[in-house]
Structure 1
């Protein structure tokens, strides 16, 4: 009996292996090919499930990144992650925004010379998220991501504060949410409640009626949330205020956690570009792909829209690249010779960029003690003055007496960037005119992207300088004493360091070292003979 059972198990196992090998052969191992070949059960026929390819297509388009709903989930695979959007940090961001809105209202009252200087204001801030685009990765708006760690498309956040200093946050999602999911989502996104987007108007009317606050929202005609907010403001007979520039200014002052993430993002970008420069250059596509791979190996997320690489007609590789870590941006710009060495005209123009960058950093350090430069726009004007002076020294600009406005206009023609200074933080860089007119303060992280471009048809310039483009971009943090910290110092900046980093430069350095070692060994071999000659003498 036992032998019969043992034989039955053996033959059953052999038959099962034969059937499995027939269903999933080596040439049909792909999930798209194997699963449709499985016979559906009666239960599967009744529920009518979607095919696996359609499920993959649906969830990869609807969910940002395929499966992640928060920034914290992106960083789970990083063993040394720098978490920023934790509940304590989000509470700090919300408090900073509400305090700045309150300070604006107090300043507005003081400007009107009213008697209610100590009035306590209530606020309701509505922030709309980004809408999903089919077959494109979702980039959540920085306004929403700064106040709520949510990467879900079509989301909207309502942040409010009463006159009794009680604060709350409500998150609205396009899909229907039951009570159990609402509890899970509330803890995940650190909000008081998660509701369907259809209830946002009702919730706003209740908040506006109960607390009579100031209503804040940045309108967007193409957004459904903006239309609902405008309808709620009309029904409540309240004015709608735009908090765009106030919230932008709040985000320019970085906290300790934000600085840690920015240091990590810029270190990833700088280290990745240094490795790209050190490898043999074949094509711009290969360099961009290598930068993408190296950033991902360091747990960064390359920004495809910020990666630009090309080889110009003068033998200079031009690369402007950036990546994100935890939603915070890092980026830089470099140029390096494909032959391994800068030509004298290229080295002269690149040296001028280095000198201008040092001068601008000195101006930033003196801005805290009533210096000549106080705002990013003034720093941009100082750059154009320095650029005009170097162009005059290179005889690109003729000698003549000009007003500062004329110097700006002439120097602007030889720069590739309309504005060289920008604030760096979450998402894209902020370069609005209103924001760049605010004074530089400790805690700011700014990017300086300097460039010199001499056109081919520039008759004033020497022929050796015509057609040359040099660029230099780095990210800086302004400390409490207004000293400057370079966040992209892992990538070489000096011409000698760049030449040593390049493959051709390393090969030439190896040859020179081999020749030097050979000469030194020859001298050592001749040393006993010389000593013998001295003894004979």
Structure 2
């Protein structure tokens, strides 16, 4: 009886493997061996699904764009997610972008012909997504992700608005899309239709024939989308305008949903850095790994280019930490002593950075009442002037009368941050010179990266200051009344708070406290 049962199991196992050998190879999982033996349902036969190995290869986490095609799908696992790229929010972003393009055309028209009434313009905006590169991490471009929640590489978005203010959106993908997939993708990415990239030129020619709209596109020589747009513009005899700076300015004003995501991203970066400072690590790689781990626990992606920690020759740890939540960036910079206590020269230089940050925040608050500083570039110059003032007080720079231009030039040698002020939003920080020349406005979120670096060969400075580098970075939100909110305030920035957070500093404080109690107690 047992022998017959054992023979039956052997024959069944052999038949199953014989039926699956064509579909699955030996290096596949056992799932591939079992699934082909199941009977297909009528629904499965009707939709004609792809084989399991092809599905795994196509939707693998290693594929460009990751496993999820949208940011919204990726945040499904977060129990308290701050979703931004919802359909109503994307509609708001598209309306703001087209309105700013329209306002630019009105200003341009009024400059050329002041007596002419405001005309109604039609617009066609083509935004290209990021291309995928092998062995490189893929990230969608900020200008594309701002207008369409799509993480697919090689995509292109076309926004159009007629003179009757009727708007539409078309998404073009590099692969072929049938009618059923087009319906699914249209709902997923919140567009009117999804078409293959081969139809982009034909669609543009059809849109450009209607009411002679303005054609907008940031041309890139190496981009296939740009070459198609240029060919369509040449055939339609329509000039091609660059919307890059207008769209950058549109993204600087944050909506309430964007502000929630930015708060969350900066809180995650600040909490993770504070917990990292509270750990006793001797290896910079361990510190960076710990920060990476803490960010991912909070459903954020650490910025690999910024999460690099290093220990200098003066015993100071330095970390420019950054992470992204829902596509929005948060970050800060801190330095703290490995011994648990700042030395007096380190504390003096770090205290100067705290004073400079306080004065810069006051200058931003006065920007709404016609203050001396109104743009990020002017704030950068004010920072260098304040830095030179503190360096003179510390006798690093000799006292003497200099012009503001000379003061800025001298102080630049003691600052290691090429861009002190930048706008923060989706992805990388926007630091184009034209963008930094726009005035501050309510709703802006800016990043401050302050630093003082005294060279080793600086003979003017006292020997105690030579070779010291201190840095301090935070993310600020400008409110409706130009009040400044520090979004990274969770992470300690005062020297006493930093020393209390470090394990060596806490142990020293406990020892001093215990020694004081013993000395004050009666024998």
**DSSP-derived class of the 1:497 partner:** helix
Residue 282 of structure 1 is matched in structure 2 by 282
- Aligned equivalents of 2:212, 2:355: Cα separation in 1: 56
1:165 aligns with 2:165: yes
Q: Quote the residue 1:376 is aligned against.
A: 376
Give the whole-Å Cα distance in 1 for the aligned partners of 2:152 and 2:55: 21
**Aligned partners of 2:32 and 2:53 also within 8 Å:** no
Would you say the 8 A contact 2:319–2:333 is kept in 1?
yes
Cα-Cα RMSD: 2.8
1:261 is matched with: 261
Per-residue displacement from partner, 1:191-220 (whole Å, max 9, x unpaired)? 000000000000000000023100000000
Indicate the SS of the match to 1:450.
strand
Secondary structure of the corresponding residue to residue 210 of structure 1: coil
**2:86 aligned partner:** 86
Contact 2:142–2:427, Cα closer than 8 Å, also in 1: yes
Matched, 1:350 2:350: yes
TM-score scaled to structure 1, two decimals?
0.89
Runs of 5+ consecutive residues of structure 2 not aligned to the other structure: 18-25, 39-49
Task: Summarize deviations over 1:12-67 as a string: whole Å, max 9, x none.
Answer: 797699999x9xxxxxxxx9575599699899xxxxx99969954884444412x1
Equivalences for residues 429-444 of structure 1 within 5 A: 429-444=429-444
CA contact (8 A) 1:63 1:69 kept: no
Task: Say if 1:8 and 1:99 are closer, same or farther in 2 by CA, change over 3 A.
Answer: farther
Partner of 2:41: none
SS of the aligned residue for 2:194 comes to strand
The 8 Å contact of residues 334 and 472 in structure 2, kept in 1 or not, is answered as yes
Deviation at 1:172, TM superposition (A): 0.1
1:64 aligns with 2:65: yes
How far apart are the structure 1 equivalents of 2:148 and 2:32? 44
Secondary structure at 1:447's aligned position in 2? strand
Following the alignment from structure 1 to structure 2, what is the Cα–Cα distance between the partners of residues 501 and 213? 59
Is contact 1:61-1:134 (8 Å) kept? no
Is 2:288 aligned against 1:300?
Answer: no
SS in 1 for 2:330: strand
Specify the SS of the correspondent of 2:100.
Answer: helix
Secondary structure of the 2:183 match is helix
Q: CA deviation at 1:368?
A: 0.6
Shift of the 155–462 alpha-carbon distance from structure 1 to 2, 3 Å rule, reads same
- Residues 1:153 and 2:153 are matched in the alignment: yes
Higher alpha-carbon deviation: 356-365 or 130-139: 130-139
Q: 1:80 to 1:116 in 2, by over 3 A?
A: same
In 2, are the aligned partners of 1:122 and 1:161 still within 8 Å (CA)? yes
**CA contact 2:32–2:52 (8 Å) conserved in 1:** no
Name the structure 1 match of 2:317.
317
Aligned residues of 1:143 and 1:247 also touching (Cα < 8 A): yes
User: Going by fraction, where is helix more abundant, 1 or 2?
Assistant: 1
Q: CA deviation at 1:395?
A: 1.0
Q: Please give the alpha-carbon distance, in whole angstroms, between the structure 1 residues aligned to 2:165 and 2:54.
A: 51
Aligned length in residues = 505
What's the CA shift for 1:510?
A: 2.0
Matches for 1:29-68 after TM superposition, within 5 Å = 32=27, 56=57, 59-65=60-66, 67-68=67-68
Task: Look up the match of 1:185.
Answer: 185
Structure 2 equivalent of residue 100 of structure 1: 100
In the aligned structure 2, how far is the partner of 1:313 from the partner of 1:95?
Answer: 52
Distance (Å, rounded) in 1 between the aligned partners of 2:265 and 2:372: 31
* CA spacing shift, 1:34–1:432, aligned 2, 3 Å: closer
1:265/1:323 contact within 8 Å kept: yes
8 A contact 1:349–1:470 mirrored in 2: yes
Cα pair 1:32 1:52 within 8 Å, conserved: no
Shift of 1:10: 6.4
Alpha-carbon separation, structure 2, partners of 1:131 and 1:62: 13
Question: How far apart, CA to CA, are the structure 1 residues paired with 2:243 and 2:208?
Answer: 17
1:489 Cα deviation from its structure 2 partner: 0.6
Cα distance in structure 2, aligned partners of 1:59 and 1:508: 50
Report what 2:211 is aligned to: 211
Deviation digits for residues 296-346 of structure 1 (CA, Å, limit 9, x no counterpart): 001111110122210000000010010000000000000000000000000
- List alignment gaps of at least 5 residues for structure 1: 23-30, 44-48, 527-537
| In 2: Cα distance, 1:173 partner to 1:115 partner | 45
Cα deviations by residue, 1:49-87 (Å, 9 ceiling, x for unpaired):
99969954884444412x110000110110000000000
The reply on whether 1:121 has 2:112 as its aligned counterpart is no
